Amino acid sequence: MFELFNRVKAFKISRRAFIGTGAAVTAGAVLPASANGLKKLSAVQAESLQQEEGEWIPAACWHNCGGRCLLKAQVVDGVVKRVKTDDTREDSPDNPQQRACVRGRSQRQQVYGVDRLKYPMKRKHWEPGGGDKSRRGEDEWERISWDEATDIIASEIKRIKNQYDNRSILVTGGDIGRALNLVGGHVSTWGTTSWGSWRWGPAYFGLQEGYFEHSINDRMDLRNSQLIVLWGMNPAWSSPGSPTYNFLQAKKAGARFIVIDPMYSESAELLGDEWIPVHPGTDHALMLGMAHTIITEDDPDQNPLIDWDFLKSCTVGFDESMMPEGSDSKQNFKDYVLGIHDGEPKDAEWASSISGVDVTMIKRIAREIATTNRAALLTGWAPARIKNSDSWPQMFMTFGAMTGHMAQAGRMTGVSCHFGTGNGGPRLVNGGGAGVPPSAENPVEDSLVHAEMWKAIKEGEYTAGYNDKRDINIQMIYHGMGATLQTRDGQANGIDVHKEVEFVVTNGHFITTNAKYSDIVLPATTHWEREGGFNTGNRDALFYYRRVIEPMFEAKDDAEITTMIGEKLGFSAEEVYGDVSARQQLFNQIAGATVINEAGTDFEPLVTITKDDLSEWGVEGQTQQGRISIQELEEKGVYQVERKPGDNYGYIAQEAFRQDPEANPLATATGKLEIYSEALQEYVKSIGFTEIDPIPTYNPAIEGYEETYSNFNSREKGDLPLQVINPHYLRRAHTIFDNNPWLREAWPNHVYVASADADERGVKDGDTVKVTSKHGSTLRIAHVTERLMPGTVGLMHGAWVEIDPETGIDRAGSDNILTGSIATGQAISGWNSTIADFEKWEGIPLKEDKHWELRTV
């Protein structure tokens, strides 16, 4: 191990030397400023890449980053010298290369980070039972052995289990549950995380569970759309890789793009023909105003704006004549929009007064969508990560249904986010299972919801359902994976909790926020240091990765850590994990990989396996015929299904349902898309927080736009007059890469503030500001911009909290230090509904975080 460390160190020095020479070559070669000169340069570079000895190994880029790309690492003498991306195919619009973003290309700086956790560490003042718990987060660290670390963990598990019970042990992620389930289990967590109100609710009114793949058509079909609305989505940042390129093909094919977003995003810049700024969390009101326009202007003969045929055959609840049996006919959507019973028409004027969008603009886009033959209404999850947005997905789908933009070529309405951005449909190529037996069942049923979790632990009571509060007494927290203390609502409560419980453990790569507030931290391997596996992303491609380097220092795989702790608790490795070796697990995944057949009707094995392969790998298995050899997979690291327009792999969401709704009903009580849904209403009620109507009525968000006023009717501004959103930006994949030196340089972590708001507060670009919400304060350097709607603050998601012990103020721009533990409806984590204000910071100005020390231990 020491030998490897020296090699990495030597490499770092020689890399610096290399960059020096590289820069000189670049300057010289560019001087002629001719195309020829540049060509010569790339030829020189290509040659130097080839001359290098060593092997290019497919390397994982494993993050929850919304994209997925091919990464290859050049390994010389056990050390990664370079990374490159997809050059396995010619790049073309139909079959783009799966090219890595800036984060993937900086991956080496993560794996070889000087701040990697090298050894198991113990908090200096830890004692059984916790010792001085208030020192968590500030205490020093001491190196300990794996044996000591696992001894301490096992004995604390036993102590806490005996002194309290298993309901006092919280696991926030990872697979440590495999060991804990054998000794009586642990409390779990759940939440709507990414999806907001798209997570569970949509299944109740007719969409499959809020996941990505099923509500929109595939990327080839996007080129048939004449109008594409990007409603609260910014693929250029949050779905890097091919999605933005695919949208560009749709644009080249003639589509007009409208972007509805409080921020003039990079996607708006690249694709948008029009940008419509909207106050965060008021999208529902805006869409009601649009619905009002087309309901009042629709004339089936002279000016047809509503697709009555689709509404009648495929939906229930739109008007009095379409109500499901047994319902109150007055509770129909159209009457609500017109204000028949409540006396409040949801017209464009009403919508404008909430959303901030001009009345004429609301009417115009409503008409434009309704009169375009083939439109795509696409939304990300950000507008659904809003407290009280439980009816928003139903509203979005209702508008799509009214305009008939569903289930036909070039016509679609739904979620376009993460891996499924602009590319709906089932995956075309899949990895197989590893063959590890399932974990023993967890006997503890309690599960805490993210949105209230930290407050619930603090107060000793959590919500288990409608009228169902239960007591809870957490004394141990095991962070097996994830960045829970950083990424869940109400971080200030979370920090308090971490200073109160008796024992906290984290497996991780760095002194992340979870680790910082722990007693014991255990160094985990990264995917580059493991046997291998598959990563999935968009539906066309499957990525294979294998071991690039040996484990750094004393890092161990999470599975091994769980096994060691299981053994200290008295169980054999087999009892914890089964006896399938890591090599066999990898082989099983390869052998079980499948790809769509040419007819697009079924799946067939992806990888050919010969007798020689079996003996070379030393695994059990059978020979099979597939499309590619194991050697090709190991070399290329990607299999991408070849696409062309009109091929057999296209996907039109809900097509069969629209063609024959009787023969292909949706999974609702009525078999239809339910604009009136008692099932949705009941579901939301059953969770135990706020309730909703069966039709998509507008509920102002808690900490939403309306609350920026002390009196919304008379428009008196309140103490917290601004709204904070947390865009997912390219510096990080959530919290990951926040410590990456290259990315710190490439992407400063400034808070985005609108020029008008900055002027009002005497703040200039580059000033340090203090942003304060109801729940906490954070310092950041201000990026003053015209690209943000006045009234909105863009605090980018995922920075690692850094509480100043003197002031109690966060210095790092942590998004969740501004959010509270507030659960609504289906327990939405409504981060994008947070109200705040900012002011110029009169203390010592912040340094850019590229100058900050890394947390090395």
Q: Which residues bind ligand SF4 (CB under 6 A)?
A: 61, 63, 65, 67-69, 100-101, 103-104, 240-241, 733
CA distances from 765 to 726, 759, 782 (A): 20, 10, 6
DSSP secondary structure letter of residue 732:
-
Stretch that binds ligand MGD, among 423-431, 479-487, 537-545, 619-627 (CB under 6 A): 479-487
Based on the shown chain and the rule CB under 6 A, indicate whether residue 169 belongs to the binding site for ligand MGD: no
Q: What x/- string results for residues 430 through 469 when contact with ligand MGD is judged by CB under 6 A?
A: ----------------------------------------
Based on the shown chain and the rule CB under 5 A, indicate whether residue 194 belongs to the binding site for Mo ion: yes
Q: Which is nearer to ligand MGD, 417 or 687 (CB)?
A: 417
Q: Which is nearer to ligand SF4, 69 or 692 (CB)?
A: 69
Sign of CA dihedral 197, 202, 203, 205: positive
Q: Which is nearer to ligand SF4, 98 or 391 (CB)?
A: 98
Q: Which is nearer to ligand MGD, 462 or 831 (CB)?
A: 831
Based on the shown chain and the rule CB under 6 A, indicate whether residue 237 belongs to the binding site for ligand MGD: yes
Residues in contact with Mo ion, counted by CB under 5 A, come to a total of 1
Q: Which of 400, 425, 508, 533 binds ligand MGD (CB under 6 A)?
A: 508
Instruction: Give yes or no for a contact between 268 and 232, defined as CB atoms under 8 angstroms apart.
Output: no
Q: Which is nearer to ligand SF4, 241 or 696 (CB)?
A: 241
Hey, how many other C-beta atoms are within 10 angstroms of the C-beta on 404? 23
Q: Which is nearer to ligand MGD, 498 or 509 (CB)?
A: 509
Stretch that binds Mo ion, among 186-194, 276-284, 695-703, 830-838 (CB under 5 A): 186-194
Q: Cα(609)–Cα(590) distance, rounded to whole angstroms?
A: 9
Based on the shown chain and the rule CB under 5 A, indicate whether residue 518 belongs to the binding site for Mo ion: no
From 376, 556, 424, select the one nearest 480 (Cα to Cα).
556
Q: Residue 515 touches which of ligand SF4, ligand MGD, Mo ion, none (CB < 5 to 8 A by kind)?
A: none
Q: Residue 68 touches which of ligand MGD, ligand SF4, Mo ion, none (CB < 5 to 8 A by kind)?
A: ligand SF4
Stretch that binds ligand MGD, among 148-156, 585-593, 659-667, 732-740 (CB under 6 A): 732-740
340 SS3 class:
coil
Q: What stretch of H or E contains 287? A: helix 283-297
Instruction: Give yes or no for a contact between 415 and 432, defined as CB atoms under 8 angstroms apart.
Output: no
For the record, the structure tokens of 125 come out as: 């003042």
Residue 729 beta carbon to ligand MGD: minimum distance, rounded to whole angstroms: 6
Q: Residue 281 touches which of ligand MGD, ligand SF4, Mo ion, none (CB < 5 to 8 A by kind)?
A: ligand MGD
CA torsion 756-761-764-769 (nearest 10°) is -120
Give, rounded to a whole angstrom, the gap between the first and last alpha carbons of the chain: 18
Q: Cα(273)–Cα(251) distance, rounded to whole angstroms?
A: 10
Instruction: Quickly list DSSP for 653-686.
Output: TTHHHHH-TTTS--SSSSSSEESS-HHHHHHHHH
Q: Which is nearer to ligand SF4, 728 or 770 (CB)?
A: 728
Residue 652 beta carbon to ligand SF4: minimum distance, rounded to whole angstroms: 27
Q: Which is nearer to ligand SF4, 95 or 208 (CB)?
A: 95
Based on the shown chain and the rule CB under 6 A, indicate whether residue 703 belongs to the binding site for ligand MGD: no
Stretch that binds ligand MGD, among 127-135, 259-267, 432-440, 778-786 (CB under 6 A): 259-267
Residue 811 beta carbon to ligand MGD: minimum distance, rounded to whole angstroms: 17
Q: Which of 58, 96, 243, 281 binds ligand MGD (CB under 6 A)?
A: 281
Instruction: Give yes or no for a contact between 713 and 353, defined as CB atoms under 8 angstroms apart.
Output: no
Q: Which of 242, 430, 740, 819 binds ligand MGD (CB under 6 A)?
A: 819
Q: Which is nearer to ligand MGD, 387 or 411 (CB)?
A: 387
Q: Which is nearer to ligand SF4, 240 or 410 (CB)?
A: 240
From 221, 161, 16, select the one nearest 570 (Cα to Cα).
161
Residue 408 dihedral angles phi and psi, to the nearest 5° = -140, 170
From 125, 67, 130, 142, select the one nearest 98 (Cα to Cα).
67
- By Cβ distance, which residue is nearest to ligand SF4? 104
Instruction: Quickly list DSSP for 734-785.
Output: TTBTTT-HHHHHHS--PEEEEHHHHHHTT--TT-EEEEEESS-EEEEEEEEE
Sign of CA dihedral 687, 688, 692, 698: negative
Based on the shown chain and the rule CB under 6 A, indicate whether residue 729 belongs to the binding site for ligand MGD: yes
Based on the shown chain and the rule CB under 6 A, indicate whether residue 65 belongs to the binding site for ligand MGD: yes
Q: What stretch of H or E contains 173? A: strand 169-173
Q: Which is nearer to ligand MGD, 643 or 811 (CB)?
A: 811
Q: Residue 100 touches which of Mo ion, ligand SF4, ligand MGD, none (CB < 5 to 8 A by kind)?
A: ligand SF4
Q: Which of 294, 524, 564, 722 binds ligand MGD (CB under 6 A)?
A: 524
From 795, 688, 724, 690, select the one nearest 387 (Cα to Cα).
690
Q: Which is nearer to ligand MGD, 260 or 311 (CB)?
A: 260
From 433, 386, 277, 185, select the one nearest 832 (Cα to Cα).
386
- Under the phi-then-psi rule, with left for phi > 0, alpha for psi from -120 to 50, and beta for the rest, what region is 467? left
Q: Cα(502)–Cα(161) distance, rounded to whole angstroms?
A: 12
Based on the shown chain and the rule CB under 5 A, indicate whether residue 708 belongs to the binding site for Mo ion: no
Instruction: Give yes or no for a contact between 57 and 203, defined as CB atoms under 8 angstroms apart.
Output: no
Q: Which is nearer to ligand SF4, 421 or 670 (CB)?
A: 421
Residue 102 beta carbon to ligand SF4: minimum distance, rounded to whole angstroms: 7
Residue 492 dihedral angles phi and psi, to the nearest 5° = -60, -40
Residue 671 beta carbon to ligand MGD: minimum distance, rounded to whole angstroms: 31
Based on the shown chain and the rule CB under 6 A, indicate whether residue 278 belongs to the binding site for ligand MGD: yes
DSSP secondary structure letter of residue 411:
B
Q: Cα(256)–Cα(270) distance, rounded to whole angstroms?
A: 12
- By Cβ distance, which residue is nearest to ligand MGD? 66
Residue 324 beta carbon to ligand SF4: minimum distance, rounded to whole angstroms: 44
Tokens 């044996």 appear where? 147
Q: Which is nearer to Mo ion, 210 or 317 (CB)?
A: 210
List residues binding Mo ion (CB under 5 A).
194
List residues binding ligand MGD (CB under 6 A).
64-66, 174, 193-194, 231-234, 237-239, 260-263, 265, 278, 280-281, 283, 380-383, 386, 417-418, 481-484, 487, 507-509, 512, 524, 558, 725-730, 732-736, 797-798, 815-816, 819, 831-832
